[in-house]
A and B are shown apart, each in its own frame.
Chain A
Amino acid sequence: MNITLKVWRQKGPNSLGAMETHKMTEVSGDMSFLEMMDVLNDRLVREGKEPFAFDHDCREGICGTCSMFINGEAHGPGRNVTTCQLHMRSFKDGETIHVEPWRSAAFPVIKDLTVDRSSFDRIIQAGGYVSVNTSGDTQDANSIPIPKHDADEAFDSATCIGCGACVATCKNSSAMLFVSAKVSQLSLLPQGKTESSERVLRMVDQMDIEGFGNCTNTGACEVECPKGISLTNIARMNREFLSSTLTSK
């Protein structure tokens, strides 16, 4: 199939960017979106031009490194897929595809389609952990009985890969889905529960400091999240933050 690409070109963090047009021919429907970008970059390099910088790592939908805002949606069309798992058969022959970086004050553009998502790391550093060392002399997993339902819920929250599509897609650039998934994953289990009240205060604090916007419950994040993280996580965090605020010393 033939595709017209309009890709965001931006030299560096402080330069102005613009869309650049490239025609692609003989694109196979079985290529992933990233493979199609590889073909474009390969051609650009052979023509002596600058390839597009974009993030990727595992290319199997588990690491959360790939990004790209494709045709007005984070990770492109299709639900529950990352850009690396998005295939060109999702597009029509002759289609024009717009490719942009995640756009948020808290995710500054590094170059072209790559953005700096270390604000997420700082939120995790603020409280997204269990303080006791759990590696090394590991306890038997069944010594603390955990109801299956709780374990499942915690697991669902833990599937968040930290890609930032929720922020990219939210009209307010809010990071609530990500932060609430991380808060929930820990507070749902006994190991994480003991620190849950302090954790939620710290993580929300850091989230605000990083300059993410405020949640207005549009629900766009839940729809675009490649891992199907649910809005119930946000409600849980709202609940935990409210009670922790009222009871914290």
Chain B
Amino acid sequence: MSKTGILKSSLSKKYAMAFTGLFLCLFLVGHLLGNLQLFASGPEGQSAFNEYAEFMTTNPLIKVMSYLTYASILFHVLDGFVLTLNNRKARPVKYVVEKGKLNSSWASRNMALLGTILLVFIVTHMNNFWYVMHFGEIPMVDGLKDLHTITLAFFNPQINSLAAVMTLLYVFAMISMGFHLNHGFQSAFQSLGLNHPKYTPVIKFAGTAFSVIVPAGFASLPIYLFLIQS
């Protein structure tokens, strides 16, 4: 009976945004927990991290999860792009004076901008590490690809002349991610219709906490690695 087609409906597009977004939040938690091992920068930390990297690139279950993650990112980006285009079309003539800041948060009004920054970051970041790990020339230690040394070197100003710029770039991307999550996390629940006087305040609190803790955790690594090596 649906005239626009169920998959084409504006609400279905929102559900897809919410589902993929929440899945990517789960991915972030896993990724962060793995990365935190980099705080152990000595030889033990090195072999533990390299074993972990090996596990993450070869375990079949992890493989399935990583394909789901790539698909989620792609879908989230494409869907977000379509939604943004539609929304622009919905207001062809702009207001001369518009005061959005009186009724909504900055992040909520700039999700597409923040998302674009994150997309650029993801491509850069995958090129810096993921590509190197999967397809690049990489030294071997104890029969394992030595991603640990590559990572440390990347943020070492003695070795990489761009280390300071990269550290700043990574921190900037994480701040953008914080804002994106700050709106996105609780927004996903609202889109799925999960709104309840008892639980919504908890979800909002959890979203704010998530959007601070997770990006701060990620950002702490390049800062730490840069500082101990300079």
Contact = CB atoms under 8 A, between A and B. Distances in A.
A213 interface: yes
A203 to B, nearest CB: 11
A218 B95 contact: no
A218 B90 contact: no
A236 B190 CA distance: 9
A50 interface: no
Given A73-B99, A238-B14, 8 more contacts: A69-B98, A72-B95, A100-B97, A105-B89, A174-B90, A216-B187, A217-B108, A245-B6
B3 A205 contact: yes
The prevalent SS among residues of A at the interface is mixed
B90 A205 contact: no
A45 interface: no
Contact of A171 (B87, B97, B195): B87
B111 to A, nearest CB: 6
A242 B190 CA distance: 12
Interface string B94-118: 1111111011110011010000000
Interface string B63-100: 00000000000000000000100110111111111111
Interface in A157-210: 169, 171-174, 198, 201-202, 204-205, 207-209
B9 interface: yes
Given A173-B87, A235-B194, A100 B99 contact: no
B6 to A, nearest CB: 5
A242 B195 CA distance: 14
Given A217-B191, A223-B103, A242-B15, A69 B95 contact: yes
B96 to A, nearest CB: 6
25 contacts: A17-B93, A72-B98, A103-B93, A103-B94, A105-B89, A106-B90, A198-B1, A204-B11, A208-B10, A211-B90, A213-B86, A216-B187, A218-B104, A218-B108, A232-B195, A235-B193, A236-B195, A238-B11, A238-B14, A238-B192, A239-B192, A241-B193, A242-B15, A245-B9, A245-B12
A72 B102 contact: yes
A167 to B, nearest CB: 9
B100 A171 contact: yes
Contact of B99 (A17, A72, A209, A216): A72
Given A171-B109, A173-B87, A202 B11 contact: no
B160 to A, nearest CB: 39
Given A72-B95, A205-B3, A208-B4, A242 B87 contact: no
Interface residues of A, number: 52
A241 B11 contact: yes
A67 interface: no
Contacts of B99: 71-73
Contacts of A100: 95-97
Interface in B131-188: 183, 186-187
A49 B102 CA distance: 36
A212 B90 CA distance: 6
Interface of A: 6, 8, 17, 19, 69, 71-73, 98, 100, 103-106, 169, 171-174, 198, 201-202, 204-205, 207-209, 211-220, 223-224, 231-232, 234-242, 245, 248
Interface residues of B, number: 45
A30 to B, nearest CB: 25
B89 A72 contact: no
A231 B190 contact: yes
A169 B102 CA distance: 11
A242 B194 CA distance: 11
B222 to A, nearest CB: 31
B32 to A, nearest CB: 25
B97 A71 contact: yes
B185 to A, nearest CB: 11
Nearest to A10: B93
Question: What are the 5 tightest A-B residue pairs by CB atom distance, in nearest-first order?
Answer: A239-B193, A235-B195, A72-B99, A213-B90, A238-B193
B2 interface: yes
Contacts of A220: 100, 103-104
Contacts of A172: 87, 90-91
Nearest to B89: A105
Of B3, B8, B193, most A-chain CB atoms within 10 Å:
B193
